[in-house]
Structure 1
Amino acid sequence: MTDPMKIVVRLAAPVEAAWRALTDPAALRAWLTEHAEVELPHRYEFWGRHTPEGDAPHQRLLHAGDHTLRFAWLLDGVETTSELSLAAETPESTLLTLTQSHFRMAEMFDGSSIRGVLQTWWSLALANLNAYLEGREPMPRTDFTSAELRGELLIAAPVDKVWQSLIDSEQASAWFGYPIGIEPWVGGRYAMGGLDAPGAAKIVDLEPERKLVVDWGPMGVGTWELDGSDGKTKLTFVSSGFDEDNPPYPGWTGTLAGLSELRRYHEMADWQPIWVQEDVPAGA
C-alpha cells in the first residue's frame, strides 16, 4: 500500500465559511456533484452523474468534527478513505488538506480502475469549491455517464492575452501548475512535464487566436477554440477521437481543473494559484 495522495489548497474564505460549504447539502450540490445529503455526525453522502460510480451514494462517514471530515468511499469494489481538513491561514483564508487512499498513478493512464480519476476529480472539486467561495461560476463537471466531453468557459480577458497563455510554455506552466513544454506550430510538441519529458503529444492544427488542436494519441484529440468579444473570451474545449467505451475521464477532468486556474490567472490582478502542495504516490 502506498502513502495516501495529498493535496493542499488555499481557499478564499474564513474557515467557518469553508466548513459550511463542505457540510451544507445545498452548497455541495452547487460545487461538488448532483446529489448530496448531510446529517452530521452520522451521514455524509454524495452521488449522481458528476461522481465516479455515482449511481448511488457509496460513502460511509467515519469522523466529523474539529473542521475535519473523514469517510470511507467504495470505488471499484475497494473501500477507500477520504479526509478533508480545514485550518485557518488568515482571518480571510483557509488551508484545506485532502488525503485520499488507494490512488495509483498507473490507473490514471491505463483506465483499469475508476480510482484512476481520483487525483483529477478531487483537483476539480477543490477548484470548484474555491470558485464557489469566491463567488464565481463553477467549472463544468465531468459527466461520468456520458462519452461527450465538451465544455465552455467565459474569461474576462481579451482573446490575444488568453491565446498567449495557452501557447506560451512559461505561462501555461504557471496557471496549470505543472511544467508544460509547447512548440507553438503545427507538428510541434505539447509536452506535459516539459520538452525534455518523453511521450509528448503533437499539435495538429493551430490558428492564431482562434484554435489549438493537440493529438494525445489513445487519449484522444483535444480542441480549444477561442472567440473574442467586448474584451472577453469564450473558450470552447472538446475531447474526441478516443475509445468511447473507456473515455479518458482522468485527463478530461484534469483539463477542467486547470482551466479553472486559467480563468483566475487572467481575472485576478494579484493572482496566485490555489494549489499549495500536491503529493501523489506513484503506486505499485
Structure 2
Amino acid sequence: MPDFRTSIEIEAAPDVVFDYLVTPGGVTAWMGEFAVLEPRPGGRFDVDIAGFPIRGEYLEVDPPRRVVVSWGIAGSDDLPPGASTVSFELTAIGSGTRVDLTHSGLPDARVPGHRAGWAHFLPRLRGAGTGHPPGIDDWRPLPPPR
C-alpha cells in the first residue's frame, strides 16, 4: 500500500487554512456536504462526500501546523472506517501556506480514485482559503473497484 502524496499552495495564513480542516463549515466549504467533527485526538471525523460516508477520527491536532485523521468508508469491505490515514502538514511560506497531504494505507485499487478526489478537492480548499468559495460541488468519484 503506497502512500499518496501531493501539495498545494494557498495565499492564506496557516491559521486560516487550519480552520478549513477542523470546523464543519470549513470542511464542507471545500469537501463534503455534511460534517460532524471533534478536532481533538480520538474525536470524530465524519464527513459525507459525494454520497460516501467517510468515517474516522482525529489522530493529531496541532494548530496551525498539522492535522491527521483516520479515513475510511462506512460499509466498505476494503476501506472500512479508520483503515487509512490522511495527514495535512501546513507550512508558512512567503505567499501564505503550503499544504502537504499524505494519504497512507489505501488499498492499491483505491489509490486512483483517491488521487482523482484529492486533485478535485485541494483546489477547492485553495479557493475557500483565499475567500473565494468554490460553490456547489457536483463531482462524483470513480466507481469503486469490484
Provide TM-score, normalisation by structure 2: 0.74
Please report how far the alpha carbon of residue 231 of structure 1 lies from its aligned counterpart in structure 2 after TM superposition.
5.2
User: Could you report, residue by residue, the CA deviation over 1:108-165 in whole angstroms, capped at 9, with x for unpaired residues?
Assistant: xxxxxxxxxxxxxxxxxxxxxxxxxxxxxxxxxxxxxx94410111111001101011
Partners of 1:158 and 1:239 in 2: how far apart? 23
Please report how far the alpha carbon of residue 256 of structure 1 lies from its aligned counterpart in structure 2 after TM superposition.
2.7
Partners of 1:160 and 1:222 in 2: how far apart? 19
The one of 41, 45, 48 equivalent to 1:190 is 45
Structure 1 segments unaligned to the other structure (5+ residues): 1-145
Taking a change above 3 Å as real, the CA distance of residues 220 and 249 of structure 1, as seen in their structure-2 partners, is: farther
Please report how far the alpha carbon of residue 273 of structure 1 lies from its aligned counterpart in structure 2 after TM superposition.
2.0
Instruction: Give the structure 2 partner of residue 255 of structure 1.
Output: 118
Number of equivalent positions: 131
Taking a change above 3 Å as real, the CA distance of residues 247 and 209 of structure 1, as seen in their structure-2 partners, is: same
Bigger Cα Rg? 1
Taking a change above 3 Å as real, the CA distance of residues 206 and 246 of structure 1, as seen in their structure-2 partners, is: same
Please report how far the alpha carbon of residue 279 of structure 1 lies from its aligned counterpart in structure 2 after TM superposition.
8.0
Provide TM-score, normalisation by structure 1: 0.40
CA contact (8 A) 1:157 1:232 kept: yes
Structure 2 segments unaligned to the other structure (5+ residues): 73-78, 142-146
After the TM superposition, which residues 10-49 of structure 1 pair with which residues of structure 2 at under 5 Å, given as runs? none
Q: What letter is aligned with 2:57?
A: K
Partners of 2:35 and 2:134 in 1: how far apart? 16
Instruction: Give the structure 2 partner of residue 241 of structure 1.
Output: 105
Superposition RMSD in Å: 3.0
1:173 maps to 2:20: no
After the TM superposition, which residues 100-119 of structure 1 pair with which residues of structure 2 at under 5 Å, given as runs? none
Partners of 1:199 and 1:261 in 2: how far apart? 18
Please report how far the alpha carbon of residue 277 of structure 1 lies from its aligned counterpart in structure 2 after TM superposition.
4.6
Instruction: Give the structure 1 partner of residue 87 of structure 2.
Output: 223
Taking a change above 3 Å as real, the CA distance of residues 222 and 279 of structure 1, as seen in their structure-2 partners, is: closer
